[in-house]
Amino acid sequence: MRTAYTVETVRAAERELMARVPEGALMQRAAAGLAVVCAEVLGKVYGSRVVLLVGSGDNGGDALFAGARLARRGAGVSAVLLSPERVHAGGLAAFRAAGGRVVAGEGAEGVLRGADLVVDGIVGIGGKGGLRAPASQLVSSVRALGAPVVAVDLPSGVDADSGVVVGEAVRADVTVTFGVYKPGLLIDPGREYAGVVRLVDIGLELGVGVGAGGGAGAGVGEAEVEAFQYADVASLLPLPTGESDKYRRGVVGIVAGSARYPGAAVLAVGGALRGGAGAVRYVGRAADAVIARFPEALVSAGPPSKAGRVQAWVAGPGLGDDAEGLADVVGADVPVLIDADGLRLADAAAVRGRGAPTLLTPHAGEAAALLGVAREEVERGRLAAVRELAGRYGATVLLKGSTTLVAGPDGGAVRVNPTGTPWLATAGSGDVLSGLAGALLAAGLGAGDAGAVGAYLHGLAGRHAADGAPVGAQDVAEAIPAAWRDVRGD
Ligand SMILES: NC(=O)C1=CN([C@@H]2O[C@H](COP(=O)(O)OP(=O)(O)OC[C@H]3O[C@@H](n4cnc5c(N)ncnc54)[C@H](O)[C@@H]3O)[C@@H](O)[C@H]2O)[C@@H](O)CC1
Ligand SMILES: [K+]
């Protein structure tokens, strides 16, 4: 599990650690780790030209101490001080003593033009709001240069707690972050600005937080965001045993598709079958299309509640206006996943009143409609939006996107999916995910786990299917078994 903590939690842990170590030790650890990564990016330190962008806080201090280390190894290091009167004094003294050169603001463009590496120490976890001038102007000129950029702790301009970017921010090739990940490094748009993230151990001790849907809200010392890795997913994959029959593996009911959109039903059923369902019951107007593609599906004509035993329902993809079918499913006493048209049709009070787990899977546009805000607002503040929806509906919410997020109804850490790929932004891809996550619900996973594992497998399947070229949703469904094998390490 990769866990990220809020600035407040990081600061508290740093205070506690600082009281136990000699003064300045943490900054030295940070600078040493930073210098190592800079040297790796440069390849050859001796004779290289490095430019530090130095802000007025400790983030700039880290850059100056790292710059001093590189200067001692023979690099020509220049520091552009954004506020010379408030620069980290100890860092500046060490930098000068090592032969570093200080450049005034107006000389910045000149040194930047010849740089082999730019180190962004403008602002770290102390950043508030969008970057102010002159930092914002400097950042836009750095982008035009093409030299690799290493960001100190986080790219300046990215909000550490949310990944929100207002105005200019540094686009880093590598971000060297200290102690623990910050949420803004894992969630878009911040994640994209961060490039490759390298974690440097400075001795911080922070425990693992409570998962999505796992109960208590994220308190002090708990993770704000967590990202599954292979091992986390592998430990949750429901595997059949010698005792398994279709009910032990989980029967998924799917209420999807319409005369206009029969394909959505086919894709959702395909996702559910590859998600390990023991059987799939299909209820809706696309039965012929479903059977033609998946003869193993069990189709029925009546309402969902008369379809026979089901351990989880998936309702909504391509459903059109079948409000009755949707309401029937919302009234069921088993886990329910609601997607696409189902989100529009679902009665919020009825969803809140459900006893069994509910998983809502909107994309940004659907989330915006549910929240009554513009789509851009959701895209800019994905973490806040997913938490807000989960609270309002008393449900687990999976917000689809380049970094899919899963929030539980009772707070706790939000899961962020690390496997997404832009190739997944294709029609019908969400229908596949709904079937896949529905199968995991039917197998007995909690809503937060089903959402996170489903998103993880779906992302890997998208990568397998795409392999650097465009894909259709059917290809993604067919690549789910390959994703499954990846995770199991076969
Ligand atoms: N506290 C610690 O124990 C450690 C902190 N370290 C470093 O210290 C950083 C935090 O240092 P600080 O608390 O001094 O804060 P920062 O250096 O991150 O930023 C604070 C400074 O940036 C300016 N600033 C804030 N928002 C701005 C904006 N939107 N535009 C332009 N300027 C803005 C402020 O005026 C302030 O002077 C971490 O990110 C990390 O790099 C590391 O040395 C490791 C140890
Ligand atoms: K920075």
pLDDT at 280 over 90: yes
Name the residue at shortest CA distance from atom 19 of ligand 1.
Answer: 126
| 105-110 average pLDDT score | 84
79 & 19 share domain: yes
Q: Is residue 219 part of a domain?
A: no
Q: Is residue 216 part of a domain?
A: no
Last residue of a domain, one of 136, 171, 206: 206
- Our count of domains for the chain comes to 2
Q: Is residue 213 part of a domain?
A: no
Q: What is the pLDDT of residue 422?
A: 87
196 & 272 share domain: no
| 329-356 average pLDDT score | 97
Name the residue at shortest CA distance from atom 3 of ligand 1.
Answer: 14
Three-class secondary structure assignment of the chain: CEEECCHHHHHHHHHHHHCCCCCCHHHHHHHHHHHHHHHHHHCCCCCCEEEEEECCCHHHHHHHHHHHHHHHCCCEEEEEECCHHHCCHHHHHHHHHCCCEEECHHHHHHHHHCCCEEEEECCCCCCCCCCCCCHHHHHHHHHCCCCCEEEECCCCCECCCCCCECCCCCCCCEEEEECCECHHHHCCCHHHHHCEEEEECCCCCCCCCCCCCCCCCCCCCCCCEEECCHHHHHHHCCCCCCCCCHHHHCEEEEECCCCCCHHHHHHHHHHHHHCCCCEEEEECCCHHHHHHHCCCCEEECCCHHHCCCCCEEEECCCCCCCHHHHHHHHCCCCCEEECCHHHHHCCHHHHHCCCCCEEECCCHHHHHHHHCCCHHHHHHCHHHHHHHHHHHHCCEEEECCCCCEEECCCCCCEEECCCCCHHHCCCCHHHHHHHHHHHHHHCCCCHHHHHHHHHHHHHHHHHHHHCCCCCCHHHHHHCHHHHHHHHHCC
Q: What is the pLDDT of residue 141?
A: 85
305 & 434 share domain: yes
Give percent above pLDDT 90 in the chain.
88
pLDDT at 209 over 60: no
138 & 282 share domain: no
119 & 82 share domain: yes
What distance in angstroms lies between residue 242's CA and the mean position of ligand 1's atoms?
57
Q: Is residue 91 part of a domain?
A: yes
257 & 323 share domain: yes
Q: What is the pLDDT of residue 208?
A: 38
Q: Which residue out of 123, 131, 158, 175 has the highest number of ligand 1 atoms within 8 Å of its CB and is therefore the one to mutate?
A: 123
Ligand 1 atom closest to residue 132's alpha carbon, by position in its atom list: 30
Ligand 1 atom closest to residue 157's alpha carbon, by position in its atom list: 29
Q: Is residue 155 part of a domain?
A: yes
What distance in angstroms lies between residue 152's CA and the mean position of ligand 2's atoms?
4
Q: What is the pLDDT of residue 281?
A: 98
Last residue of a domain, one of 174, 206, 238: 206
305 & 358 share domain: yes
Mean pLDDT score of the chain = 94
Q: Is residue 75 part of a domain?
A: yes
Q: Is residue 224 part of a domain?
A: no
Q: What is the pLDDT of residue 246?
A: 82
pTM: 0.93
Point out the annotated binding site.
Answer: 58-62, 120, 124-130, 153, 156, 264, 318, 363, 400-404, 430-431
Point out the annotated binding site for (6S)-NADPHX.
Answer: 58-62, 124-130, 153, 264, 318, 363, 431
What distance in angstroms lies between residue 179's CA and the mean position of ligand 1's atoms?
15
What distance in angstroms lies between residue 121's CA and the mean position of ligand 2's atoms?
4
pLDDT band at 216 (very low <50, low <70, confident <90, very high): very low
pLDDT at 108 over 60: yes
113 & 248 share domain: no
Q: What is the pLDDT of residue 157?
A: 97
pLDDT band at 207 (very low <50, low <70, confident <90, very high): low
Instruction: List ligand 1's pocket residues with C-beta within 6 A.
Output: 14, 18, 26-27, 30, 55-60, 62, 123-132, 135, 152-153, 178, 202
Pairing status of strand 2-4 against strand 225-227: antiparallel
Name the residue at shortest CA distance from atom 2 of ligand 1.
Answer: 14
pLDDT at 215 over 50: no
CATH number at residue 37: 3.40.50.10260
What distance in angstroms lies between residue 125's CA and the mean position of ligand 2's atoms?
8
Point out the annotated binding site for AMP.
Answer: 400-404, 430
Q: What is the pLDDT of residue 143?
A: 80
Q: Which of 99-108, 363-372, 446-455 has the lowest mean pLDDT?
A: 99-108
pLDDT at 475 over 50: yes
**Which residues constitute the domain of residue 117?**
2-206
299 & 332 share domain: yes
pLDDT at 219 over 80: no
Residue pLDDT, tens place only, 152-199: 999 999 999 999 999 999 999 999 999 999 999 999 999 999 999 999
Last residue of a domain, one of 174, 191, 206: 206
pLDDT at 465 over 50: yes
CB atoms closer than 10 angstroms to residue 195: 19
Residue pLDDT, tens place only, 15-50: 999 999 999 999 999 999 999 999 999 999 999 999
Q: Which ligand minimizes its atom distance to the CA of 136?
A: 1
255 & 365 share domain: yes
The amino acid sitting at 480 is: I
Name the residue at shortest CA distance from atom 35 of ligand 1.
Answer: 56
| 255-281 average pLDDT score | 96
Name the residue at shortest CA distance from atom 17 of ligand 1.
Answer: 57
pLDDT band at 450 (very low <50, low <70, confident <90, very high): very high
Residue pLDDT, tens place only, 223-261: 999 999 999 999 999 988 878 788 888 999 999 999 999
pLDDT at 343 over 70: yes
Ligand 1 atom closest to residue 56's alpha carbon, by position in its atom list: 37
Q: Is residue 211 part of a domain?
A: no
119 & 253 share domain: no
Q: What is the pLDDT of residue 212?
A: 39
380 & 348 share domain: yes
pLDDT band at 14 (very low <50, low <70, confident <90, very high): very high
CATH number at residue 313: 3.40.1190.20
